[in-house]
Amino acid sequence: MKAASKILLVLLSLVTTGAAHVGSPDVYYEDHAGPYPLSVVVRMPLVVPGVAVIEVRSLSDNLKSIQVVPTRIQGEGSKFAPVPDVAERASDDPKLFRAHLWIMMRGAWKVQITADGEKGKGELSVPLAAAPGNSLALQGPLKWLLTGLMAVLVIGLVGIAGAAVREGMSDPATAPVPSSKRRSARRVMICTALLVIAVLAAGKFWWNWEAASTAQAAYTVPRVVTSLSASNTLLLRLQRTDSGRWAERIQLDDLIPDHGHLMHLFLIRFPDMDRMYHLHPHQDSAGQFSQNMPALEPGRYKVFADVVHATGFPETQTAEITLPETHEGTLQGDDSFATGISLLSKIQNTNVTYLEDGGRIIWLDSNVFVPPREPVKLHFRVEDASGKPATDLEPYMGMAGHLILISSDGTVFAHLHPNGSPPMAAVQLANGTGMADHAGHNIPSEISFPYGFPKAGLYRIFVQFKRAGRIETGVFNVSIVQAIDN
């Protein structure tokens, strides 16, 4: 019974895609709820409706209780929050609070967190994107095993029906069975076989119907259509997701700026990941963007286009494009370009990136062992040419830093900030605040990014800072290994 329900679970479960990023659905976030610094992890459900697990870690000692409640980010649903749940304090860790929350519908949500302690109450909202992805296909060996077992059952059933008519009523002593009984047994076997085939056909029909309605609820990452014009302009046409019930809801004329730009475009040369462009195309009309390209290094690039809808729902649309070598064009405004050694090179990637002016970016915890989905802080220090902590850091698009992370197979892509994984535009909508104003503020030379790697594998990290008007990029690798359970 247990095995059967497990198989059914495999058949029915969906894989969450994580719309804000690609292949990275869980949310990692750090901020203050009033006077209390908190580190929040939200494990998104595999299906919607489904249960999200919220883990709130207090980063101070004076917290007594945590309450959580999920609401919509925007619209009527955001005004009528249900009664909050009290998060349970972990028995083995007094600073960790855990709660389970039902996410009833797809789309943009937030978890409202109320912290209570010695300094009174404080609130914080963390945005979530509930976007269950494609259902898993039945795996080959399991499919053949189940088909074989079904064939055995069908043959057995037909055989039993025949035997019942042929020999069911006969006296064990009298043999052989008269031929009239054999004839009617044959007829019953044919009828049984037809009946079983009809039942199987009905089952197949039901299964396909279920699969189709599940697919309608699934979110597929849309492919942005890209082309390079003769004048070295990259044209991008955003697409709507092709899964039915999403396509009718997601508009392309409702994009809102995320740290100052409607689109953040990343072009990464594959499979080496030795070149990266971070650009900000101009919106010409709804869903239509263009970008005057800088001088290009030729090659095959993976394209990741980050946008945020007015609902607070983020999307990363993806594509691939082959770019030719061009020498004209320069980087404009907030745009940047970075080079690194090939991900495939035998040379060991170090924890240091040397900058043009003699300064360096150091990844301080590069050798820390992190199993998949474990919350971690990626911690960096920027030094000047004399090896001292850099004092010339300034906000880059309103942020202390930006971190782009891609798995070697391109199935995971995430864009992080010192607050964590949700896009800033969604954070601002969820909390009803404007963009954090770092102007005039000193950016510290040590900056960290909370995250959890979704799966084992090799990842490349591009971390970007701005120093005295220059955008600097640190390029690092990290290998995430599955923890071995003893």
Q: Which is nearer to Cu ion, 48 or 424 (CB)?
A: 424
Q: Which residues lie closer than 8 Å to 480 by C-beta, 6 or more apart?
A: 370, 371, 372, 453, 455, 456, 457, 458, 459
- Interaction with Cu ion in 170-199: which residues (CB under 5 A)? none
d(CA 256, CA 253): 9
Amino acid at 309: H
Residue 141 three-state SS: helix
Q: Kind of pairing, strands 233-237 and 36-43?
A: unpaired
The type of residue at 327 is: H
Q: Measured from the CB of residue 415, what is the shortest distance to Cu ion in angstroms?
A: 5
* Residue among 241 and 291 whose Cβ is closer to Cu ion: 291
214 Cβ contact partners less than 8 Å away, ≥ 6 residues apart:
12, 14, 135
Q: List Cα–Cα distances, 20 to 225, 264, 338, 370, 403, in angstroms.
A: 19, 12, 23, 23, 14
In the complex, minimum distance from the CB of residue 225 to Cu ion, in angstroms, rounded to a whole number: 24
CB of 412 to Cu ion, least distance (A): 17
Q: Is the CA virtual torsion 366, 369, 372, 378 positive or negative?
A: negative
- The residue of the chain with the least Cβ separation from Cu ion equals 402
> Closest Cα to residue 263, out of 335, 214, 323, 210?
335
Q: Taking the complex as a whole, how short is the minimal distance between the CB of residue 331 and Cu ion, in angstroms?
A: 16
- Shortest CB 259 distance to Cu ion, Å: 6
Work out the number of other CB atoms within 10 angstroms of the CB of residue 141. 8
Q: Can residue 261 be called a binding residue for Cu ion (CB under 5 A)?
A: no
Distance CA 291, CA 281 (A): 5
Please identify, using beta-carbon distances, which residue of 72 and 264 lies nearer to Cu ion.
264
251 contacts 309 by C-beta, under 8 angstroms: yes
User: How many residues bind to Cu ion according to rule CB under 5 A?
Assistant: 1
Taking the least distance from each CB to Cu ion, the nearer of 166 and 460 is: 460
- Amino acid at the residue 54: I
How far apart are CB 216 and Cu ion at their closest, in Å? Answer: 33
Q: What is the nearest approach in angstroms of Cu ion to the Cβ of residue 441?
A: 17
Strand, helix or coil for residue 181? helix
Closer residue to Cu ion in complex, CB, 402/466: 402
In whole angstroms, the minimum distance from the beta carbon of 396 to Cu ion comes to: 8
Between residues 402 and 467, which has the closer beta carbon with respect to Cu ion?
A: 402
Q: Name which of 363 and 462 has its Cβ closer to Cu ion.
A: 462
Q: Please say which residue, 402 or 460, places its beta carbon nearer to Cu ion.
A: 402
Contact status, residue 306 vs residue 423, Cβ threshold 8 Å: yes
Instruction: Judge contact between 331 and 294, C-beta under 8 A.
Output: yes
List the interface residues with Cu ion, window 376-435 (CB under 5 A). Answer: 402
Label residue 172 exposed, middle or buried (CB < 10 Å: 0-12, 13-18, 19+): exposed
> Which stretches of the chain bind Cu ion, using CB under 5 A?
402
